[in-house]
Amino acid sequence: MPGKAPNILLIQADQMAAPSLPFHGHPVVKAPHMSALAAEGAVFDSAYCNSPLCAPSRFSMLSGLLASQIEAYDNAAEFPATVPTFAHHLRHLGYRTVLSGKMHFVGPDQLHGFERRVTTDIYPADFGWTADWQRPDERLDFYHTMLSVAEAGPCERSLQLDFDEEVAHQGVRAIYDLARAGRADDTRPFFLHVSFTHPHDPYTITPDYWDRYDDREIDLPRVPAIAREAMDPHSRRVFDACGMAKYDLNEARVRAARRAYYGAISYIDDQVGRLRAALESAGVAQDTVVILTSDHGDMLGERGLWYKMSFFEWSARVPLIVHAPGRFAARRVGGNVSLVDLYPTLVDLAGGTAPSDRPGEMVGRSLVPAIVDQGDAGDDTVLGEYFGEAAVGPVVMIRRGQYKYIVGEDSPPQLFDLAADPDEVTDLSGDPAHAELAAGFAEEAADRWDFADLKRKVILNQRRRRFVFEAQKKGEATPWDFQPVFDASRQYARNCAEILGDSERDARLPYAPEPPTDGPGG
């Protein structure tokens, strides 16, 4: 893009499904700050994650590559330090790159191109959450538990609230610190990634957000629970892995979980408002592109399923807003896009070009032409892969035009026409009228993915990680979890500054220059 490279603020929620948001048509959820972003920005109405699980989705998003290309198989897969990310690329273009919040990095590299991290992560950085396809019937202790639905309701405090309060505080502080540095000796533009853990389960939220909703207004799932025996094989495995039959998920419990989830979205919405207010107060709002997204969605009881781990709309479709009113007009983009498009889009916004040293690898494309030139998003094919818990082999998705095709190594294909059937209740894979279309998708999937070879690689990778994890528990353990470092000797008022007043003035926003000495003693 021409002109001065903008600052970029990327705000990311966790497990926030696009269909649950008011700017995508949800009639109940209250999110005025996000809705204001949507009203003024480019909204992608058909945006998807590329893997419906936290770590693989984020690693794919950061790298612009599919999970299988970087062995980002599950929530304990190492993200290789040799894989360039958009943080590396923006830093190479002269950006200050800062991360506040969750990124679920696994392995000893806990920066991946970020110059600074101002919080630790909420989840462990080791291999302890490695899935095990060789024990498909064994429920591992890190799997989701339906207690989060059975016990849904208000709370005064939670692990997630503790984390996100720190993320928001440090994110706001980073905006002020970056603005002060830009006013002084560091004129580089900034890229700030603020990543929250809400509205991820467990489904709890503080009373003030819980009370923004009333039980009577909480909508029930559009697609009622499907009997376990009638589910497709992958959905049945997700159902079993999460113990979804353990508790009576009556209407009251479903409403409570959805009410808490909606309250958590309103909580995230207020954090979006806090961050935007900080941009305004710091005087950098006009120079900052704001992007909002999530790593994946949440089934939230649709079809009788919860959490993610599938390619149905509530699990795989995510919000994506790009907001910069001074640079382009508000609009809606209808073509299919995905999180791997963020890498080339961010680089394009920063005035750079996408990597050329990995021909044929990067599957994303810049969305800037669709935003600025009021065109479509180009080739609207989206690819998805799932290799995590509850699977026993690869499960993949091809989304193109109005159709979505899903198939697994041991699961029969599913074909949905989302224009005619947005709730995905009619599988067209066996419909004679769609036989040619289904056969084309099947051939394409077979050409793109070697399921047998992928399964072999995943199982070998799982074995290695489980062995390393067990070995590292012996003797003295050195954790990989990120330790934020703050140099207290250079904070606030210290004698490293020659004049105390200079320190106080430098920290002030907006800046107040020293007044002239025009008094009697001047």
Residue 1, pLDDT score: 45
- Dist CA 232 CA 222 (whole Å): 18
Q: Please state which of the ranges 133-142, 286-295, 312-321 shows the lowest mean pLDDT.
A: 133-142
Element (H, E) at 277: helix 251-281
- Which pLDDT does position 496 carry in this prediction? 65
**pLDDT over 70 at 462, yes or no:** yes
Looking at residues 334-363, what average pLDDT do you find? 86
Per the structure, the count of domains in the chain is 1
Amino acid 253: pLDDT: 96
Distances (CA, A) of 360 to 90, 365, 487: 21, 12, 44
Residue 104 annotated in active site: yes
DSSP-derived secondary structure for 433-493: GGHHHHHHHHHHHHHH--HHHHHHHHHHHHHHHHHHHHHHTSSS-----------GGGSSS
3-state class of 319 per DSSP?
Answer: coil
pLDDT at residue 180 greater than cutoff 60: yes
What angle, rounded to 10 degrees, do the helices at 342-349 and 54-63 form? 40
Contacts of 306 (CB under 8 A, 6+ apart): 144, 146, 148, 149, 201, 242, 244, 257, 298, 299, 300
Average pLDDT over residues 426-440: 97
Kindly report the pTM of this predicted structure.
Answer: 0.94
Average the pLDDT over each of 43-57, 149-163, 270-284, 479-493 and give the range with the smallest value: 479-493
Question: Is 387 inside any structural domain?
Answer: no
Q: For residue 2, which of 368, 406, 491 has the smallest C-alpha distance?
A: 368
The closest of 287, 388, 291 to 341, measured between CA atoms, is: 291
Query: In whole numbers, what is the pLDDT of the chain averaged over residues?
Result: 93
Cα separation, 290 vs 366, whole angstroms: 16
For range 461-479, the mean pLDDT:
95
**Is 128 contained in some domain?**
yes
> Residue 346's domain is classified under what CATH number?
3.40.720.10
CA angle 212, 214, 220 (to 5 degrees): 115
Measured CA to CA, the distance from residue 66 to residue 71 in angstroms comes to 9
* Model confidence pLDDT, tens digit, residues 79-89: 999 999 999 99
* Two tokens, residue 231: 């589910």
Residue range(s) defining the domain that contains residue 330: 7-373
**Lowest-confidence region among 113-117, 184-188, 243-247, 396-400:** 184-188
User: pLDDT, tens digit, for every residue of 434-447?
Assistant: 999 999 999 999 99
Is pLDDT at 244 greater than 50 in this prediction?
yes
**What are the φ/ψ torsions at residue 91 (nearest 5 degrees)?**
-65, -40
Query: How many C-beta atoms lie closer than 10 Å to residue 467's C-beta?
Result: 12
* The length of the chain, given as a count of residues: 522
What average pLDDT score do residues 426-435 get? 97
Find out whether 265 and 31 touch, Cβ atoms under 8 Å.
Answer: yes
User: pLDDT digit string (tens) for 479-499?
Assistant: 999 999 888 887 887 776 555
> Using CB atoms within 10 A of its CB, is residue 259 exposed (0-12), middle (13-18) or buried (19+)?
buried
74 Cβ contact partners less than 8 Å away, ≥ 6 residues apart: 53, 55, 56, 129, 130, 131, 387, 388, 389, 462
In this prediction, residue 143 carries a pLDDT of 85
- Residue 85 domain-assigned (yes or no): yes
Sequence-ordered list of residues with C-beta below 8 angstroms from that of 86, at least 6 positions apart, any chain: 62, 64, 113, 342, 343, 346, 347
In a domain, 39, yes or no: yes
> Rounded distance, CA 383 to CA 160, Å?
31
Confidence of residue 32 (pLDDT cuts 50, 70, 90): very high
Whole-number Å distance between alpha carbons of 237 and 234: 5
Does residue 159 lie within any of the structural domains? Answer: yes
Of the candidates 481, 31, 458, 2, the residue with the CA atom closest to the CA atom of residue 273: 31
As a whole number of angstroms, the distance between CA 403 and CA 381 comes to 10
- 88, 104, 144, 200: the active-site residue: 104
Is 496 annotated as catalytic?
A: no
Residue 410 pLDDT: 84
Please check whether residue 402 lies inside any domain of the structure.
no
Q: For position 26, what pLDDT does the model report?
A: 97
Q: Where are the alpha helices (DSSP H) in 41-100?
A: 54-63, 67-70, 86-92
Asked whether residue 281 is domain-assigned, the answer is yes
Strand 204-205 to 153-154 pairing: parallel
Q: Decide if 191 contacts 346 (C-beta within 8 A).
A: yes
Average pLDDT rounded to a whole number, residues 449-453: 96
Q: How far apart are CA 247 and CA 243, in angstroms?
A: 8
Residue 519: the pLDDT is 64
Pairing of strands 395-400, 331-338: unpaired
Residue 362 binned pLDDT confidence (cut-offs 50, 70, 90):
confident
The CA-based dihedral angle spanning residues 459, 461, 462, 466, taken in that order and rounded to the nearest 10 degrees? 140
pLDDT of residue 413 exceeding 80, the answer is yes
Token pair recorded at residue 358: 């990995």
Catalytic residue among 33, 49, 54, 323: 54
Q: Is 410 a member of any domain?
A: no
- Per-residue pLDDT of 104-159, as tens digits, reads 999 999 999 999 999 999 999 999 999 999 998 888 888 888 999 999 999 999 99
For the chain, the helix, strand and coil percentages under 3-state DSSP, each to the nearest 5: 35, 15, 50
Give tens-digit pLDDT for 183-216: 667 789 999 999 999 999 999 999 999 999 999 9
**Within 10 A of 458 (CB to CB), how many other CB atoms are there?**
23
